[in-house]
Structures are given as structure tokens and as C-alpha cells.
């Protein structure tokens, strides 16, 4: 696929100079604008699907690739608490962190949609000519700051709503009472915000790869036109 995308500019130049060679007479040749529009459609579709999946029940908790566990600096605390018989408290922390992430993921869709709609033709070209995660990297560059700023209050509210703040605070305070241990910060909001955003990008990267490689992911006439043309001209 990457090899084909590298050939797109040359292909259009060839068509323009040759006055549409007879080999292409019966093909629906998409314009540069249509290719850009198709890519934007694909990315809107991919980000919408990813956020919908993650915001559903068990979207985070039931997905091993994005499931949120105790912060790395608190893993020792988790082990100690479980040895002390506080398994349920630890399980409540993990479940509530993931429920908060699922709740907050609902807020991500308009941020990604806006990023897609702001794409320039240069952005589109760079994504087409880039690696299989080029769109995901674009989203990381253009949305991470916005997601962080908008997610934190949502995450904080979500954590409180599902009890994560209390559960993690209880776990941290219980651990901090154990003699001779290094104290841990009972504030979990920043960590949960970061992990929620990371989870979104993991899902978006998977969906980007799916759209690039899977025929069934081409759900609109424009996507079908652009990618069918791509398939027919892979060897040019």
C-alpha cells in the first residue's frame, strides 16, 4: 500500500500529460480533491468507530490493549495491599479507573472530527505518503494538548462519579499506613487522563491500519472509488 501511495503524484502527472491514456478510459479516476475528501471520510469514520468502541461498557476494562491498571509507581503498593487481604479494594480501583475512561471517551469524538476537518492538502499528502500510522501520528500532534485540557475535568468528574477517586485514595492511604514504605500520591486524575488518551490513540492506530488494508472498511461511494482506483493501479 505504501508503495502505491508513493506513486500517486506520478500517476496524476502521467494522466495530465498524456491526455488520459487509453488504459484509463474506463476507470473512474478520482481527483486530488476527491482523494483528500476520501481520506478525511476514512479518518472521521475511524475515529468515530474507535471512540464509540472505547466509550461502550467494557470498552477499556474488557480490552487488554488499553485496560488501565495501577500506575507503575503504585504496583508495589497494589501487591502489598493484596498480600494484606485487600483484593476487593484493588479490584475496585482498577474497575473504576476503566469505567471513568469509558465515560470520558464519549467526549473525544468532536475533538478528532474537528482535527480531521482542519486538515490541509499538505496534511493529506503527508498522511498518504507516510507510514501506516501516519494519521495516528497526525492526531497525536494536533489533538493531544486539546484532549488533555478538555479531558482532565471530564476525567475528574468521571472518576468521582464511578468512585475511582475514593477507591484509589483509600488504597493509597491504606498503603501509606504500612510502616517503612515510600508514600504514594493519592491523586489519580493526571494518570487516568494520560492513560485514557493513550488508549484512544491505540484504537485509532488499529482502525487506521484496518481502513488502509481492509476492503470491507470502505463504507462510502467516495471511499470505494478512491481505494478501488488505488487497488487497480498498485503495479503502475
Cα–Cα distance measured from residue 172 to residue 78, given in angstroms and rounded to the nearest whole number? 9
Place of cell 508495589: 76
**What does the radius of gyration of the chain's CA atoms come to, in whole angstroms?**
23
Q: What's the pLDDT tens digit per position in 145-176?
A: 999 988 888 888 877 776 777 777 787 778 88
Mean pLDDT for the chain?
79
Domain limits, the chain: 39-219
pLDDT value of position 233: 59
The mean pLDDT value for 192-202 works out to 93
Could you list the beta-strand ranges (E) of the chain. none
Quick one: angle between helices 2-18 and 121-129, nearest 10?
120
Residue 42 has pLDDT above 50, yes or no: yes
DSSP annotation of 73 reads G
Best-predicted range by mean pLDDT among 45-59, 113-127, 220-234? Answer: 45-59
The mean pLDDT value for 77-102 works out to 88
Q: Which three cell numbers stand for residue 175?
A: 498503603
Distance of CA 129 to the CA centre of its chain: 20
- pLDDT above 90 covers a percentage of the chain that reads 26
| Contact indicator for 97, 168 with CB cutoff of 8 Å | yes
Amino acid at each position: 500500500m505504501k508503495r502505491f501511495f508513493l506513486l500517486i503524484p506520478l500517476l496524476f502527472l502521467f494522466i495530465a500529460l498524456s491526455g488520459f491514456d487509453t488504459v484509463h478510459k474506463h476507470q473512474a479516476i478520482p481527483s486530488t480533491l476527491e482523494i483528500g475528501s476520501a481520506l478525511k471520510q476514512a479518518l472521521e469514520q475511524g475515529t468515530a468507530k474507535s471512540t464509540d468502541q472505547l466509550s461502550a461498557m467494557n470498552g477499556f476494562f474488557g480490552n487488554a490493549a488499553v485496560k488501565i491498571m495501577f500506575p507503575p509507581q503504585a504496583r508495589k503498593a497494589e501487591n502489598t495491599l493484596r498480600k494484606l487481604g485487600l483484593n476487593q479494594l484493588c479490584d475496585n480501583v482498577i474497575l473504576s479507573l476503566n469505567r471513568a475512561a469509558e465515560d470520558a471517551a464519549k467526549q473525544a469524538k468532536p475533538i478528532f472530527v474537528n482535527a480531521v476537518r482542519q486538515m490541509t492538502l499538505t496534511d493529506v499528502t503527508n498522511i498518504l505518503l507516510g507510514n501506516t500510522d501516519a494519521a495516528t501520528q497526525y492526531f497525536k500532534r494536533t489533538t493531544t494538548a486539546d484532549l488533555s485540557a478538555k479531558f482532565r475535568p471530564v476525567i475528574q468528574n468521571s472518576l468521582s462519579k464511578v468512585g475511582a477517586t475514593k477507591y484509589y485514595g483509600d488504597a493509597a492511604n491504606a498503603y501509606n499506613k504500612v510502616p517503612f514504605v515510600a508514600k504514594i500520591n493519592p491523586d489519580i486524575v493526571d494518570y487516568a487522563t494520560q492513560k485514557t488518551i493513550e488508549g484512544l490513540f491505540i484504537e485509532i492506530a488499529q482502525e487506521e491500519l484496518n481502513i488502509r488494508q481492509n476492503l470491507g472498511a470502505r463504507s462510502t461511494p467516495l471511499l470505494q472509488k478512491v481505494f478501488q482506483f488505488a487497488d487497480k493501479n498498485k503495479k503502475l
